[in-house]
Structure 1
């Protein structure tokens, strides 16, 4: 009797998906941190640009799509990373998070002003909130992005490049995850119950 091939359980698939997403999200940052520590900011910037392209390619290969926010961030990495290397001025790559966070905040606030919830466009397939819920969540994320832009400016202008790179690699992501988790009660409070399709 031939053994049955091992089948992947939904739990294993879910764990692999989470691991792949984490690799796509933080892989380039870890590469940036490691290469900067070994060879300096300019080599780290070049490696960061290459790793960003690789991570987007991996996202396309695995999911046949590239999330909007990482794509926007990647474009800015290419622009400011290119300026950093071409002009040999590390200020440009340090400005990149400020520009990204400021752009996200501006887009969210602009959408709010025109009555469009951009977060609903991005997360509508996985979140179902009332209009008031989307509005409050949008305001919170917009304020968060503004504060993160200010924090990036404070760190890179007042500390060494190595400290900024370390904070970028190991500070921004945990802060973002903690903030996202803190929004769960709001999403539960304003969640729209799913309709039961059965008669």
Structure 2
């Protein structure tokens, strides 16, 4: 496939999440009856989010020729826990999904450290060339960071309203991830590989 438009990547990555947020905000105080069952705004937003994520994943696969393992794991967990939330008409399952995703990612990164494998570098080295020591540091920091995100998600969904969790999920988590990546800029510079010269 020819080079995609520059706006396509952010649209595919954030489009389903923005749709979830928009549907929730529109219907957060309403109840809608579908096939004889009453659903609140959270479940309606989940109903919109799942097919949007599936469509975005299919397009990403067509554009890139493959999906990253993290994208596949996220899609599977969304289908399972989002499906449970819709089937049982219970938002709790969908709210638990980020916790499980972040714990899974943290465990994978932790295992890569124990096994002395540079799995993070294998995925990101083209965009972020660093030496092995830099990748080990970043892997450890990211593993801890994912555990922190999992704990934060649990605290928010168990102690605050649906609306608070939706704001946290839509804006809080991406801001935390951006802050983490920017906060490690010094590590990227300190362990950057020398540029190759022709």
Q: Name the TM-score class by shorter chain.
A: 0.7 to 0.9
In the alignment, the residues of structure 1 paired with residue 171 and residue 129 of structure 2 have an alpha-carbon distance, to the nearest angstrom, of 31
In the alignment, the residues of structure 2 paired with residue 142 and residue 177 of structure 1 have an alpha-carbon distance, to the nearest angstrom, of 15
5 Å matches for 1:1-80? 16-17=5-6, 19-39=7-27, 40-80=41-81
Match of 1:152 in 2: 153
Match of 1:164 in 2: 165
Match of 1:8 in 2: none
* Residues 156-182 of structure 1 deviation map (CA, whole Å, 9 limit, x = unaligned): 011101110111011111111121111
Q: TM-score, normalised by structure 1?
A: 0.87
Match of 2:129 in 1: 128
Match of 1:193 in 2: 194
Q: CA deviation at 1:29?
A: 0.8
In the alignment, the residues of structure 2 paired with residue 140 and residue 97 of structure 1 have an alpha-carbon distance, to the nearest angstrom, of 19
What is the DSSP-based 3-state SS (H/G/I as helix, E as strand, rest coil) of the residue aligned with 2:19?
A: helix
* Residues 137-162 of structure 1 deviation map (CA, whole Å, 9 limit, x = unaligned): 00110111010001001110111011
Which structure has the larger Rg?
A: 1
Number of residue-to-residue matches in the alignment = 183
In the alignment, the residues of structure 1 paired with residue 11 and residue 186 of structure 2 have an alpha-carbon distance, to the nearest angstrom, of 28
Aligned-pair Cα RMSD in Å: 1.5
Match of 2:109 in 1: 108
Higher strand proportion, which one? 2
What is the DSSP-based 3-state SS (H/G/I as helix, E as strand, rest coil) of the residue aligned with 1:134?
A: helix
Deviates more, 1:60-69 or 1:164-173: 60-69
**Long gaps (5+) in structure 1:** 1-12
Q: CA deviation at 1:38?
A: 2.2
Q: TM-score, normalised by structure 2?
A: 0.87
In the alignment, the residues of structure 1 paired with residue 172 and residue 68 of structure 2 have an alpha-carbon distance, to the nearest angstrom, of 22
Q: CA deviation at 1:190?
A: 0.7
